[in-house]
């Protein structure tokens, strides 16, 4: 059969039509697959809210801080992406309640709210009293502080015992740096902060005056930090189980300690 014959031309056109139809079908399938992949990916992005609390949560720090790095790494190993949003603490808690955010990291005081579940603790905060170096205050229970003026950071959930003790002369500062400056000028005698956070500020904003400040011997309390996920999230149980599993695995394979070292902090000997 000659190539130029009518039958041959019809045959070639039919092949071309089938090829074009096949390409269109393939393109549509590829587009649908990309759409489904994009939808699946966006569904696995979790919104972690927190306030500026270095070295744990702070968008000015590498990986947004130690806690965010630990959370992002653990849940990343389980296939989730983490978006960190930095807002005042009260707004973070409210956003968790109304579904604006999916997660925060917090202390056991969060147990008082009925709209979250918490993970196993993934690090411990050592709360320390800070005084002027020329003072010689010793902590022996809250009663031992009745004669001193205290500056606390507004919005902190220290403990019910501390917040409800009417014997104490308590005032409030915007944050630890402001409270420390109040100490330096003699407006108060004591303030309270996580040890890592206090040392962070001693090396930065308070570097020029940190020699005039010191920790009161001992600690006020140890507070376990956990990941809190809102009850209304459809994957809450899966997220918490994945986080607990991966944090434990990271402690075993050395990546948990490596994250602390990456942030210039000594690694804990073990999980809380």
Cβ atoms of 75 and 46 closer than 8 Å: yes
Strand intervals (E) in 23-98: 45-50, 81-86
Strands 81-86 and 45-50: what pairing?
Answer: parallel
User: Tens of pLDDT along 142-184?
Assistant: 999 999 999 999 888 788 889 889 999 999 999 999 999 999 9
List of residues 6+ apart from 12 with CB closer than 8 A: none
Q: For residue 151, give the H/E element and its range.
A: strand 149-153
Which candidate, 154, 211, 214, places its Cα nearest to that of 179?
154
Strands 116-118 and 169-173: what pairing?
Answer: unpaired
Is the pLDDT at 30 greater than 60? The verdict is no
Which pLDDT score is estimated for 108?
78
Q: Distance (Å, rounded) from C-alpha 49 to C-alpha 170? A: 28
Which candidate, 88, 80, 89, places its Cα nearest to that of 107?
89
Cβ atoms of 63 and 99 closer than 8 Å: no
Which pLDDT score is estimated for 24?
53
User: Tens of pLDDT along 49-88?
Assistant: 999 999 999 999 999 999 999 999 999 999 999 999 999 9
User: Tens of pLDDT along 183-193?
Assistant: 999 999 999 99
Is the pLDDT at 236 greater than 50? The verdict is yes
Cβ atoms of 197 and 176 closer than 8 Å: yes
Q: Which domains does the chain have, with CATH numbers?
A: 43-123+224-262 (3.40.190.10), 125-222 (3.40.190.10)
Cβ atoms of 50 and 72 closer than 8 Å: no
């Amino acid at each position: 059969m000659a190539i130029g014959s009518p039958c041959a031309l019809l045959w070639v056109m039919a092949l071309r039509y089938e090829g074009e139809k096949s390409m269109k079908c393939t393109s549509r399938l590829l587009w649908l697959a990309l759409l489904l992949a994009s939808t699946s990916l966006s569904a696995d992005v979790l919104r972690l809210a927190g306030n500026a609390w270095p070295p744990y949560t702070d968008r000015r720090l590498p990986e947004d801080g130690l806690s965010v790095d630990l959370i992002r790494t653990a849940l990343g190993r389980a296939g989730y992406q983490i978006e960190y949003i930095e807002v005042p603490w009260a707004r973070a808690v409210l956003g968790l309640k109304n579904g604006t955010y999916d997660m925060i990291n917090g202390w056991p005081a969060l147990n008082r709210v009925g709209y979250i579940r918490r993970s196993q603790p993934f690090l411990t905060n050592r709360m320390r009293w800070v005084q002027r170096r020329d003072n010689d205050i010793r902590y022996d229970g809250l009663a031992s502080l009745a004669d001193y003026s205290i500056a606390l950071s507004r919005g902190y959930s220290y403990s019910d015992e501390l917040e409800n003790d009417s014997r104490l002369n308590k005032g409030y500062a915007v944050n630890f740096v402001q409270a420390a400056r109040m100490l330096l000028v003699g407006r108060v005698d004591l303030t309270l902060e996580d040890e890592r956070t206090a040392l962070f500020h001693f090396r930065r904003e308070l570097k020029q005056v940190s020699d005039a400040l010191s920790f009161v011997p001992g600690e006020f309390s140890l507070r376990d930090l956990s990941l809190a996920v809102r009850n209304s999230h459809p994957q809450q149980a899966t997220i918490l189980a994945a986080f607990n599993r991966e944090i434990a695995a990271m402690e075993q394979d050395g990546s948990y300690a490596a994250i602390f070292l990456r942030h210039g902090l000594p690694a804990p000997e073990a999980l809380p």
